[in-house]
Amino acid sequence: MKHIFARYIGGRGGSRPLDFWGVGVPLVALALSVPVLVVLSSVFKPTGEVWRHLAATVLPDYVGNTLLLMLGVGVGTLLIGVSCAWVCTLCRFPGRRIFQWALLLPMAMPAYIIAYTYTGMLDFAGPLQTALRAWFDWGFGDYWFPEIRSLPGAILMLSLVLYPYVYLLARAAFLEQSVCVLEASRTLGCGPWRSFFTVALPMARPAIIAGLTLALMETLADFGTVQYFGVDTFTTGIFRTWYGLGDIDAASQLAALMMTFVLVLIVLERWSRHRARYHNTGQRHQDLPGYQLRGGRALAAFVVCLLPLSFGFLLPAAQLGAWAVATWEHSFDADFLILMRNSLLLAAGAAVLTLALALLLAYGKRLRPTPVIRAGVQVASMGYAVPGLVIAIGVIIPFAWLDNTVDSWMRDNFNISTGLLLSGTVAALLFAYVARFMAVALHAVEAGLGKVKHSMDDAARVMGLRPLQVLRRVHLPVLRGSLLTALLLVFVDVLKELPATLVLRPFNFNTLAVRAFELASDEFLAESSLAALAIVAAGIVPVILLSLTIARSRKQQER
């Protein structure tokens, strides 16, 4: 039996003794998959009174609102992302070079922050409605104004900050398309619109579907926007069931039902990619055929790109800046410095830990590419597809069980109560972050390792270096850029994460995200601006990295 197990855990050479990589990588992958497995296992628990009450009353609203939210955000992100990607890639008009990277800036604006900002601007007491009443001498009830705190408002807010996922992948797909195919469509008499719909769009479909899937996953994971706007979705239902009704089992069953939406998205994305059989051939290094726009068409293209950038980043960032300046004196105090310290230390610790484990998994998979290790690494990276609130439930259940088991054993044998060792601690929060954002670091590390030929490993091993020495002396110098990218991406994601932090944080331990949420929930919108602006400023860093990566990749193709 031991030899059979060693055969699947060992390396390419068949059966070999178990070693650090063969055992450590599957164990780490299994530990990181615990939150997802715990939530999925809750579907086998018998339903209680709370679950039956939820199913009979609010569950249809959760399902319906979640589906409508996903539908609306899907349409919005597709329209904005694909149109801007096509215009910026294949059209020539004033301001195009700026829009190519600036259209990614809304990605730095968390959805819950843009929701607070627009609420402050568009509410009854906001500057817009106040100005309208002053100009036209209106009073309360004399005019109609769209309600921002609604399902359509949530769809608009999420679309404005999530379209960059579609824009990013669609533009990358358009950049990689074959010049020959696009020129052939012109030769056959296709104009810009017909060439777009019949040639470019079908070829870019897999990338567009992948970007749409990411946007919809972020929509499912959102908590701050729908909670603040009073829209009943799965995330708000899970939070209320857990904290309001005090039933962790019912909350975990809601989370398991929510995960079916995530699994459906993953399956649809994989199916779409599997069915796609488009091949780009020849002359990708040449400049893509562009359409020179002039007059009204150039103005229309400029407006198409300016609107999402303005409403998704420029306008809310300007409002946050104005509020921050107005409240600077009493907002920037010792408490704010503590919040910054907590947020930065937590994000830095999670980023370093996640990067170290991602390097372990990726390098272990490179050394021992067995079915067990490949599957384990794949499962360990599933956390990014799972909402933070679901990850929080998957962490708190096993940690609470472990705390209670240890405490019970210590009471029975030593008459000592250990209390909560893991639940409600920074350790639980760090574990949730690692499980949630492992895929971010893992993909960056694997991309870097893929650039190193296996012959370099073999040459180093022939010279007598052990695997860890090969990693330190050969791979790490080459991976420096990829490791830094992974570190920054995880750092910023942790800084923005709200639901997991809100649920798992230790008592009297706040971060910038939690503080912004608490102040906005209490209608102190201006006072929340400084914390929100700090999060947005940090989020600009990975946006710049992504923009530089795209520009660099195209320049390399043109050489």
CATH of the domain at 398: 1.10.3720.10
Which of 271, 300, 321 terminates a domain? The answer is 321
Query: pLDDT at position 182, please?
Result: 55
Asked whether residue 11 carries a pLDDT value surpassing 60, the answer given is no
Which pLDDT tens digit goes with each residue over 336-358?
Answer: 889 999 999 999 999 999 999 99
The full length of the chain comes to 559
Note whether 243 and 388 are same-domain residues: no
Asked whether residue 313 carries a pLDDT value surpassing 70, the answer given is yes
Query: pLDDT at position 371, please?
Result: 84
Confidence of residue 64 (pLDDT cuts 50, 70, 90): very high
- What is the C-alpha end-to-end distance of the chain, expressed in Å? 55
Note whether 253 and 308 are same-domain residues: yes
Residue 458 sits in which domain range?
A: 328-525
In a domain, 11, yes or no: no
Note whether 312 and 378 are same-domain residues: no
Query: pLDDT at position 309, please?
Result: 94
User: What pTM did the predictor assign?
Assistant: 0.83
In a domain, 28, yes or no: no
Confidence of residue 170 (pLDDT cuts 50, 70, 90): confident
Do residues 419 and 407 lie in contact, with contact meaning Cβ atoms separated by under 8 Å? yes
In a domain, 313, yes or no: yes
Which pLDDT tens digit goes with each residue over 270-304?
Answer: 776 665 554 444 444 445 556 678 888 889 999 99
Confidence of residue 185 (pLDDT cuts 50, 70, 90): low
In a domain, 228, yes or no: yes
Query: Residue 213 contacts by C-beta under 8 Å, 6 or more apart in sequence?
Result: 265, 266, 268, 269
Q: Which two tokens stand for residue 154?
A: 């949530």
**Identity (one letter) of the amino acid at 42?**
S
> How many whole angstroms separate alpha carbon 25 and alpha carbon 2?
18
Nearest to 475, CA basis, from 487, 462, 460: 460
Q: Mean pLDDT for the chain?
A: 81
In a domain, 539, yes or no: no
Q: Which two tokens stand for residue 100?
A: 């190519």
Asked whether residue 428 carries a pLDDT value surpassing 80, the answer given is yes
Note whether 276 and 377 are same-domain residues: no
> How many whole angstroms separate alpha carbon 4 and alpha carbon 90?
56
> How many whole angstroms separate alpha carbon 78 and alpha carbon 72?
10
Query: pLDDT at position 42, please?
Result: 80
Q: Which of the pair, 249 or 546, is modelled with greater confidence?
A: 249
In a domain, 418, yes or no: yes
**Identity (one letter) of the amino acid at 379?**
V
What distances in angstroms separate CA 285 from CA 170, 259, 549, 556, 559, one per listed residue? 18, 42, 17, 8, 6
Asked whether residue 173 carries a pLDDT value surpassing 50, the answer given is yes
Please state at what angle helix 480-496 crosses helix 529-558, rounded to 10 degrees.
150
> How many whole angstroms separate alpha carbon 437 and alpha carbon 490?
6
> How many whole angstroms separate alpha carbon 294 and alpha carbon 92?
9
Note whether 389 and 448 are same-domain residues: yes
Note whether 375 and 291 are same-domain residues: no
What distances in angstroms separate CA 288 from CA 6, 177, 182, 297, 554, one per listed residue? 52, 8, 8, 20, 10
**Identity (one letter) of the amino acid at 333?**
D
Note whether 439 and 508 are same-domain residues: yes
Query: pLDDT at position 62, please?
Result: 92
Q: Which of the pair, 202 or 206, is modelled with greater confidence?
A: 206
Instruction: Read off φ and ψ for residue 453, nearest 5 degrees.
Output: -70, 145
> How many whole angstroms separate alpha carbon 232 and alpha carbon 506?
27
Largest CA distance in the chain: 86
Residue with tokens 């068409």: 297
Query: Residue 264 contacts by C-beta under 8 Å, 6 or more apart in sequence?
Result: none
Note whether 456 and 338 are same-domain residues: yes
Q: How many domains does the chain fold into?
A: 2
Task: Give the distance from CA 423 to its chain's centroid.
Answer: 25
Radius of gyration of the chain (CA): 25
Which of 293, 321, 349 terminates a domain? The answer is 321
Asked whether residue 8 carries a pLDDT value surpassing 50, the answer given is no
Q: Residues of 1-23 as b/e, b for ≥16 C-beta within 10 angstroms?
A: eeeeebeebbeeeeeeeeeebbe
Residue with tokens 């870097």: 448
Note whether 390 and 279 are same-domain residues: no
Lowest mean pLDDT among 188-192, 217-221, 359-363, 388-392: 188-192
Q: Which two tokens stand for residue 155?
A: 């769809």
Nearest to 172, CA basis, from 42, 269, 280, 58: 280
Note whether 334 and 476 are same-domain residues: yes
Q: Residues of 422-448 as b/e, b for ≥16 C-beta within 10 angstroms?
A: bbbbbebbbbbbbbbbbbbbbbbbbeb
Note whether 306 and 424 are same-domain residues: no
In a domain, 314, yes or no: yes
In a domain, 143, yes or no: yes
Query: pLDDT at position 15, please?
Result: 43
Note whether 513 and 384 are same-domain residues: yes
Task: Give the distance from CA 24 to its chain's centroid.
Answer: 27
Instruction: Read off φ and ψ for residue 92, nearest 5 degrees.
Output: -115, 115
Query: pLDDT at position 279, please?
Result: 46
> How many whole angstroms separate alpha carbon 231 and alpha carbon 62?
9
Which of 305, 321, 337 terminates a domain? The answer is 321
Quick one: CA dihedral 253, 255, 261, 263, positive or negative?
negative
Percentage of the residues of the chain whose pLDDT score is greater than 70: 86
Which pLDDT tens digit goes with each residue over 370-407?
Answer: 888 888 888 887 777 788 888 988 899 899 889 889 88
